[in-house]
């Protein structure tokens, strides 16, 4: 027996569109509310504060002297210190050589102790072997294995390794721990393996500024890696910079440190936010009235600007990314400008995007500190602006159809 | 000139090399790309001259601010060349975009570029004036650097327009 077929002529596409628009609108609103200033005052269950760098800045002048005071040597040390500090993201670095001493003035929001480590350590790595007349098993001198005086120097030092890569490896107990992997220059691999073969099964070590990290030679292992005594990501970064920013050929010490007062007046976050919103409104009103832009295009641009700014600020708030309010204000201005140019222009945007990409990437790779950070953020915001223009175009189109 | 000597002496050799490479990239790559895309010598030369002029204007601004108004040029003043070159890049990109969109049109005349650049420069100037003044007024720590960036950006894009007006015939 055939059952009668039930015919339903229900078109669910508009319904699904409605639901989609409701979800997207809620997401937009949520992002905007999270990004708005002072949200933290009204939401008690979650922290939506901006993590500000303002107030955490410190400034200090370090005077460093070196044993070899030749111009070439001091210039080389100055370059290495600059590479270390800029690699760590120190915001302001100024260096000079006065009376055969290197003067380094730093202004930064980074951990002062870690920054000082970058200047206080030479990190001249050298492979050493145990002295035959030292008893390393002596219970009366438990730290005999640490001191460089108990070891003989070898011809192998940092210059024989192209870089030192710090990463997590499995230990003998099966746990993951940080190790410094010394990567040899290809032409030195054979000679170094022959050297290690002579000490197979014995302890040698790596001497770093007078302190030795022991290494049990095992010729079956393909890498030369010494354990690193920290699990802290920032300290690992510092160690990596100390290993890989160049070789300081002479001993150097910090002679003096002088604190400098930092004057970074905080800007009015709420006031600046209102000023930028007012500028956007005035700008697009002017453009629409002067018939420089169609209403639809202006609406799309405003929505994209608000969305991009909200997404960026929400990201900063949720992930507690430290930000300098002065630079955030400038980034907001550049975001509005980029979104406007990309939306207003009927011509291909490819050329604007390409030129911006080249300009900002060059600044990111070739500068340091706050300028590098500004270029990074601006590039991110330019990409976000492009995506938000597409999303807002799609959203407004959907709304029109409903 | 003390300001530039002090600045030069406060940079490590490595930093000077990196800055040299950065300037070379900005001065050479963007005009080279303009020529590569448009195959138009005038547009390429205009982009080269406008970049050189922007650099010159930034240097003059710092010199005048320091010598005449005794302004201490600090790290935050790095935003002046940054905003200036950023604005100029937007302006060059827009012009190249317009040229590439229209140059194959039968009735296209290179003189149209003049009108397009003028309109773009007016719109960019209005946007810059509104945004930078709004932020500058409410940010005492940024007011001087933002006003200098605004001044330099406006002078640069308008000089670019003058170059377009004079060189494109």
Say if the Cβ atoms of B19 and A366 lie within 8 Å: yes
- What pLDDT, on the 0 to 100 scale, is given for residue A100? 92
Taking the CA atoms of residue A333, residue A336, residue A337 and residue A341 in that order, the dihedral angle to the nearest 10 degrees is: 170
- What pLDDT, on the 0 to 100 scale, is given for residue A1? 59
Of the pLDDT bands very low, low, confident and very high (cuts 50, 70, 90), residue A13 is confident
Kind of pairing between the strands at A176-184 and A203-208: unpaired
Of the candidates A95, A337, A362, which has its C-beta nearest B90's C-beta? Answer: A337
With H, G, I as helix, E, B as strand and everything else as coil, classify residue A58.
Answer: strand
- What pLDDT, on the 0 to 100 scale, is given for residue A4? 66
- Of residues A202 and A46, more confidently modeled: A202
Residue given tokens 């079956």 in the structure block: A220
What's the mean pLDDT in A142-160? 89
The answer to whether the pTM exceeds 0.90 is no
Beta-carbon contacts of A199 under 8 Å, excluding residues fewer than 6 positions away, are A129, A217
Element (H, E) at A273: helix A269-289
- What pLDDT, on the 0 to 100 scale, is given for residue A220? 86
B155 touches chain A (CB under 8 A): no
- Of residues A125 and A42, more confidently modeled: A125
- What pLDDT, on the 0 to 100 scale, is given for residue A192? 92
Structure tokens at A230: 């920290």
Please check whether residue B7 is in contact with residue A356, taking contact to mean a CB–CB distance below 8 angstroms.
no
Lowest mean pLDDT among A20-29, A56-65, A131-140, B125-134: A131-140
A45 has pLDDT over 70: no
In B, residues 106-135, which contact A (CB 8 Å cutoff)?
A: 119, 123-124, 126-128, 130-132, 134-135
Of the pLDDT bands very low, low, confident and very high (cuts 50, 70, 90), residue A43 is low
Structure tokens at A266: 């905080």
Of the pLDDT bands very low, low, confident and very high (cuts 50, 70, 90), residue A7 is low
What's the mean pLDDT in A348-359? 92
Of the pLDDT bands very low, low, confident and very high (cuts 50, 70, 90), residue B92 is very high
Closest CA to A256 of A380, A145, A116: A116
Say if the Cβ atoms of B25 and A83 lie within 8 Å: no
Of the pLDDT bands very low, low, confident and very high (cuts 50, 70, 90), residue A41 is low
**A206 strand-pairing partners:** A127, A213
Lowest mean pLDDT among A16-20, A61-65, A312-316: A16-20
B9 touches chain A (CB under 8 A): yes
d(C-alpha A97, C-alpha A69), whole Å: 10
Kindly report, residue by residue over A87-141, the tens digit of the pLDDT.
999 999 999 999 999 999 999 999 999 999 999 999 989 999 998 888 877 777 7
A144 has pLDDT over 70: yes
- What pLDDT, on the 0 to 100 scale, is given for residue A9? 64
Kindly report, residue by residue over B61-88, the tens digit of the pLDDT.
999 988 888 888 888 889 999 999 999 9
Query: A126-246: what fold?
Result: Gyrase A; domain 2 (3.30.1360)
- What pLDDT, on the 0 to 100 scale, is given for residue A346? 64
Of the pLDDT bands very low, low, confident and very high (cuts 50, 70, 90), residue B10 is confident
- What pLDDT, on the 0 to 100 scale, is given for residue A5? 66
B1 has pLDDT over 90: no
CA B120 vs CA A378, B93, B162: distances in Å: 22, 11, 13
* Nearest-CA distance B98 → chain A (Å): 5
Of the candidates B19, B83, B89, which has its C-beta nearest A356's C-beta? Answer: B89
Kindly report, residue by residue over B146-169, the tens digit of the pLDDT.
999 999 999 999 999 999 999 987
B101 touches chain A (CB under 8 A): yes
Give the whole-number percent of chain A exceeding pLDDT 70.
94
Q: Where are the domains of chain A?
A: 31-52+265-401, 58-121+254-260, 126-246
What's the mean pLDDT in A205-229? 89
Beta sheet of A151-157, edge-to-edge order: A151-157, A125-130, A203-208, A211-216
**Dihedral pair phi/psi, residue A76, rounded to 5°:** -65, -45
B6-15 contacts: CB < 8 A, separation 24 or more? B7/B73, B9/A96, B10/A94, B10/A95, B10/A96, B11/A95, B12/A75, B12/A78, B12/A79, B12/A81, B12/A82, B12/A95, B13/A75, B13/A78, B13/A79, B14/A79, B14/A82, B14/A83, B15/A82, B15/A86, B15/A368
* Nearest-CA distance A359 → chain B (Å): 7
Chain B contacts of A83, Cβ < 8 Å? Answer: 14
Q: What is the mean pLDDT of chain A?
A: 88
Of the candidates B30, B97, B141, which has its C-beta nearest A326's C-beta? Answer: B141
- What pLDDT, on the 0 to 100 scale, is given for residue A6? 59
Among A33-42, A205-214, B43-52, the range with the most confident prediction by mean pLDDT is B43-52
Of the pLDDT bands very low, low, confident and very high (cuts 50, 70, 90), residue A14 is confident
Kindly report, residue by residue over A250-289, the tens digit of the pLDDT.
999 999 999 998 876 667 778 888 888 888 888 889 888 9
What's the mean pLDDT in A387-401? 90
- What pLDDT, on the 0 to 100 scale, is given for residue A118? 95
Kindly report, residue by residue over B18-74, the tens digit of the pLDDT.
999 999 999 999 999 999 999 999 999 999 999 999 999 999 999 998 888 888 888
- What pLDDT, on the 0 to 100 scale, is given for residue A95? 92
- What pLDDT, on the 0 to 100 scale, is given for residue A308? 94
Spell out the CATH class of A58-121+254-260: alpha beta
Say if the Cβ atoms of A276 and B134 lie within 8 Å: yes
- What pLDDT, on the 0 to 100 scale, is given for residue B8? 84
Please check whether residue B88 is in contact with residue B156, taking contact to mean a CB–CB distance below 8 angstroms.
yes
- What pLDDT, on the 0 to 100 scale, is given for residue A265? 66
With H, G, I as helix, E, B as strand and everything else as coil, classify residue A103.
Answer: strand
Structure tokens at A296: 């639809």
- What pLDDT, on the 0 to 100 scale, is given for residue B75? 82
Say if the Cβ atoms of A265 and B92 lie within 8 Å: no
């Amino acid at each position: 027996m055939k059952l009668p077929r039930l015919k339903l002529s229900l078109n669910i596409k508009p319904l699904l569109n409605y639901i989609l628009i409701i979800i997207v609108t809620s997401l937009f609103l949520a992002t905007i509310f999270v990004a708005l200033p002072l949200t933290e005052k009204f939401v008690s269950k979650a922290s939506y504060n901006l993590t500000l760098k303002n107030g955490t800045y410190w400034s200090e002048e370090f005077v460093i002297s070196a044993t070899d005071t030749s111009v070439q040597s001091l210039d080389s040390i100055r370059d290495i210190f600059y590479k270390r500090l800029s690699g760590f993201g120190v915001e302001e670095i100024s260096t000079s050589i006065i009376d055969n001493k290197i003067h380094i003035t730093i202004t930064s929001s980074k951990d002062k102790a870690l920054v000082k480590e970058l200047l206080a350590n030479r990190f001249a790595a050298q492979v050493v072997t145990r002295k035959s007349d030292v008893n390393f098993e002596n219970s009366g001198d438990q730290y005999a294995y640490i001191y460089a005086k108990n070891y003989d120097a070898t011809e192998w030092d940092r210059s024989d390794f192209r870089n030192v890569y710090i990463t997590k490896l499995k230990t003998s107990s099966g746990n993951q721990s940080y190790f410094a992997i010394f990567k040899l220059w290809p032409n030195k691999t054979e000679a170094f393996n022959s050297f290690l073969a002579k000490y197979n099964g014995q302890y040698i070590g790596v001497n770093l500024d007078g302190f030795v990290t022991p290494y049990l030679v095992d010729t079956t292992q393909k890498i030369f890696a010494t354990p690193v005594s920290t699990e802290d990501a920032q300290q690992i970064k510092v160690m990596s910079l100390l290993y890989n920013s160049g070789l300081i050929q002479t001993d150097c010490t910090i002679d003096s440190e002088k604190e400098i007062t930092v004057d970074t007046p905080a800007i009015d976050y709420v006031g600046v936010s209102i000023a930028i919103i007012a500028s956007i409104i005035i700008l697009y009103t002017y453009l629409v009235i002067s018939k420089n832009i169609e209403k639809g295009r202006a609406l799309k641009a405003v929505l994209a600007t608000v969305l991009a700014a909200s997404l960026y600020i929400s990201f900063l708030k949720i992930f507690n990314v430290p930000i300098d309010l002065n630079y955030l204000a400038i980034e907001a201005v550049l975001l509005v400008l980029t979104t406007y140019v990309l939306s207003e222009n009927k011509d291909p945007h490819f050329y604007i995007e390409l030129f911006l990409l080249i300009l900002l990437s060059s600044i990111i790779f070739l500068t340091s500190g706050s300028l590098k950070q500004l270029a990074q953020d601006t590039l991110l915001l330019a990409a976000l602006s492009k995506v938000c223009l597409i999303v807002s175009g799609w959203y407004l189109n959907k709304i029109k159809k409903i | 000139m003390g300001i530039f000597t002090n600045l030069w002496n406060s940079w490590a050799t490595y930093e000077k090399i990196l800055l040299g490479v950065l300037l070379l990239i900005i001065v050479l790559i963007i005009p080279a790309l303009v020529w590569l895309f448009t195959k138009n010598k005038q547009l390429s030369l205009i982009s080269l001259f406008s970049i050189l002029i922007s650099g010159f204007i930034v240097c003059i601004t710092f010199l005048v601010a320091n010598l005449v108004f005794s302004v201490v040029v600090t790290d935050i003043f790095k935003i002046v060349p940054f905003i200036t070159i950023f604005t100029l890049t937007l302006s060059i990109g827009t012009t190249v975009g317009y040229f590439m969109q229209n140059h194959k049109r039968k009735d296209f005349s290179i003189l149209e570029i003049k009108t397009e650049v003028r309109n773009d420069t007016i719109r960019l100037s209005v946007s810059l004036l509104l945004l930078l003044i709004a932020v500058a007024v409410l940010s005492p720590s940024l007011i001087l650097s933002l006003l200098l960036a605004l001044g330099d950006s406006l002078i640069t894009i308008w000089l670019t327009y003058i170059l377009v007006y004079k060189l494109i015939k």
